[in-house]
Amino acid sequence: MEVRTKARITILLLAVAAIGTGCGYTQQQARFRTAFLPSGAEYASAVDFSDPPSAPQPNPFLSKDVPGFLTANRQISELKAQADALAQQADRRFQRGKRYYQAGDMPSARLEFDAAVDSLLDALELNPADRRAYQALLDSMVDSIHRYDLAGLGASATVQADQFDEAPFEDILEMTFPVDPKLKDLVREQVAATVSQLPLSVNDAVLGYIHYFSTKGKKTLIAGLRRSGRYKAMIQRILDEEGVPQDLIRLAQAESGFIPRAVSRMKAGGMWQFLAWRGQEYGLMRTVYADDRMDPEKATRAAARHLRDLYAEFGDWYLAIAAYNCGPVNVEKAVEHTGYADFWELRARGVLPAETTNYVPIIVAMAIMEKNAAAYGIENIDFDPPAEYDTVELAAVTSLALVSDITETPLTELTALNPSLLKTVAPAGYALHVPKGEGTQISAVLQLIPADHRDAWRLHTVGPGETLTAIAQRYGTKADTVVAVNSIDPGGAVEGDRILIPVTRPPAPAKKTVAAKKPVVRKTTATAASKPAAAKTATAKAPASTNAKTAAASTAKAKAAAKPAAASASKPAAAKTSAAKAKSTAVRPVTSAPAIVHTASR
């Protein structure tokens, strides 16, 4: 009994001890777990959404600050905000540089461009989360600045429109080259496995040019292939539309190396090297303003049709290509003289011009090499990007400098888009190629300018600190005239505004007038009646020259007097507009307004 009672007492004491121990642990654990957290009421009152959160304080219960993962997102956001601010600053400096550029202040433009690039480089150093976007922005900006550099950092830089390039392959047409024996079997195997719309013959003449283009002439070949990227898509489209083989594109490389303003010693011009009279047969016209032979698209269309006609006559592509080079009459005579309608036979007999005998082998050699590019180390060429542009039909003679002002595009870039222009003004009716996406803006601004002033007036973007007086002096006009044309207050132009500048058209050079020869009066023994007659004749002839000069002078004065009258009578309304508004301004209809006829991607 006692033993049982003692056992019960022992069990009871153990249970009480266990309960006491458990309660003690729970209270201590509760105090430990709440030591890091404020009370609910204190936490709610401490939050203030009107101010940004304060920086994290050191944790008194840890040996170090709050772990990085708790503040990483905040640091990334700060870096991105700083990078965005630098990018915006870079854009502002770049836009300011463009305004200086348009104003002709090249040193200031250079400083702004450099500062813009530096700001973007600083943004990249911050390593923002979207680093690729900033890199793309930097690449685009550097490319734009490079285009201004090519223009001499000046939209008003002088462009020599009458400057042409040499045809790069002209000198090798009368040359022959040694044959590499190792090439014979290799080329035959390549031709056997090559698909071509033109026949690909393998002989010593072709092998000689393959050897040349693989060695000394490789740089020339690659340079032409690189330039072809600008026009290849357009040429292929036209060749397909005209129903001739795509491989005929190599004629453009053999003729000019894809240089649209190439001119030969025989005065053949353009990418497809048309003589003037032959070009006219296929619609390539020449004026004092433009030469259609230099227009890549028009010349390609004419070449495709000419080659199609030659093939219809000879029924053989080699003979057609030969006739393209030396003229169909020479090929006709060679065929009639020998009785052979085979190019290689005519070549062997020496009845074709020397350069024609090598012209066809050059084209065949280039075709074989380009179809087997990897074998000749020409497979990884960095082709020029395709030419992309809008086309604006001009209603009046228009200065390229004005178009350069509107689009903020270097003048050299505009001339590159329009290689057929022979002057820095485009004639009425000309299909002007302008940078992609700029056609609508150009049409809207041109409508603000009287048609008879589009060859002289300019559009100026007001730069920082510029006054109308300073702007007018730069363009050789008066501030009052600028104010009147733009319908603005004398002090109303602010930075970023785009205003029209009524530049006075330079006077045309005076024509030299050749004085009329005095009538020769032979001495005769005239009677009294005949002498007055001779004097009367001389008197009647002399005033003719004097009257002509007087009439010419009167006409010149009338024209000079008409200029300011025309300017004051044709002021455009509200030409002042910001750079952002210029693209979206609703313009009143004008009968002579240009019209965008199509958008082209070449």
Residues 119 and 202 in one domain: no
Residue 55 lies in a domain: no
Same domain, 99 and 238: no
The most confident of 18-27, 100-109, 516-525, by mean pLDDT: 100-109
Rounded distance, CA 471 to CA 501, Å?
A: 9
Average pLDDT (111-133) is 76
Q: Is the predicted pLDDT of residue 111 greater than 50, yes or no?
A: yes
User: Which of 352, 321, 317, 318 lies closest to 335 in space, CA to CA?
Assistant: 352
Q: Out of 344, 376, 408, pick the residue that ends a domain.
A: 376
At 279, the pLDDT band (50, 70, 90 cuts) reads very high
Domain boundaries, position 173: 165-376
Helix H or strand E encompassing 459: strand 458-461
Q: 1-25 pLDDT, tens per residue?
A: 444 444 455 544 444 444 444 444 3
Query: 27 pLDDT band (50/70/90 cuts)?
Result: very low
Q: Say if residues 217 and 250 touch (Cβ distance below 8 Å).
A: no
Residue where a domain terminates, one of 150, 179, 194: 150
Instruction: Select, from the ranges 154-168, 195-209, 299-313, the one with the highest average predicted confidence (pLDDT).
Output: 299-313
Based on the fold, state whether residues 234 and 169 are members of the same structural domain: yes
351, pLDDT greater than 70: yes
Q: What angle do CA 481, 484, 488 make, to 5 degrees?
A: 120
Q: Which of 504, 498, 450 is nearest to 481 (CA)?
A: 504
177/322 same-domain check: yes
**Domain limit, last residue, from 150, 183, 210:** 150
Q: Say whether pLDDT at 413 is over 80.
A: yes
As a whole number, the mean pLDDT across the chain is 74
Residues 190 and 211 in one domain: yes
- Judged by DSSP in three states, 264 sits in coil
Q: What's the average model confidence in pLDDT over 389-409?
A: 94
Average pLDDT of the residues in 355-379:
94
In a domain, 300, yes or no: yes
Q: Is residue 103 part of a domain?
A: yes
Residue 504: half-sphere exposure toward Cβ, Cα within 13 Å? 16
Residue 251 pLDDT > 50: yes
Share of the chain above pLDDT 70, in %: 65
Asked whether residue 395 is domain-assigned, the answer is: yes
> How many domains would you assign to the chain?
3
Q: Taking the CA atoms of the chain, what radius of gyration do you get in angstroms?
A: 40
Do 325 and 463 reside in the same domain of the chain? no
Examine residue 155 and state whether it is found in any structural domain, yes or no. Answer: no
Reduced DSSP (H G I as helix, E B as strand, rest coil) percent helix, strand, coil of the chain, to 5: 55, 5, 40
- For residue 338, count other CB atoms closer than 10 A to its CB: 14
Task: Give pLDDT tens digits for 436-467.
Answer: 999 999 999 999 999 999 999 999 988 888 88
Report the alpha-carbon distance of residue 18 to residue 7 in Å, rounded: 17
Residues 293 and 185 grouped into a single domain? yes
The verdict on 218 and 339 lying in the same domain is yes
CB atoms within 10 A of CB 183: 17
The answer to whether position 180 is within a domain reads yes
- The DSSP code for 272 is T
Where is 443: in which H helix or E strand? helix 439-446
Angle between helices 204-214 and 218-228 in degrees, nearest 10: 80
The pLDDT of residue 521 is: 40
Q: Is residue 2 part of a domain?
A: no
Higher pLDDT, 532 or 215: 215
pLDDT tier, 162 (very low <50, low <70, confident <90, very high otherwise): low
H or E, element range at 412: helix 411-417
Q: Are residues 247 and 367 in the same domain?
A: yes
Rounded (5°) CA angle 486-488-493: 100
Query: How long is the chain?
Result: 602
CATH of the domain at 175: 1.10.530.10
Residues 124 and 172 both lie in one domain: no
Same domain, 285 and 417: no
Residue 245 falls inside a structural domain:
yes
Same domain, 208 and 333: yes
Higher pLDDT: 105 or 91? It is 91
- pLDDT confidence bin for 508, thresholds 50/70/90: low
Question: Which pLDDT value is given to residue 25?
Answer: 39
Q: Which of 341-345, 525-529, 560-564, 595-599 has the highest mean pLDDT?
A: 341-345
Residue 377, by phi and psi: left (phi above 0), alpha (psi -120 to 50) or beta?
left
Mean pLDDT, residues 212-240: 94
**Could you tell me the CATH number of the domain that includes residue 122?**
1.20.58
pLDDT digits (tens, 9 = 90+) for 53-94: 444 454 444 444 545 544 445 566 777 777 788 888 888 888
How big is the CA angle at 470 (ends 466 and 471), to the nearest 5 degrees?
A: 80
Highest mean pLDDT among 139-148, 408-417, 445-454, 554-563: 445-454
Nearest one of 458, 460, 439, 459 to 594, comparing CA atoms:
439
The predicted pLDDT at position 28 comes to 38
pLDDT of residue 493: 81
Judged by average pLDDT, the poorest of 251-265, 371-385, 470-484, 530-544 is 530-544
Count of CB atoms within 10 A of residue 512's CB? 5
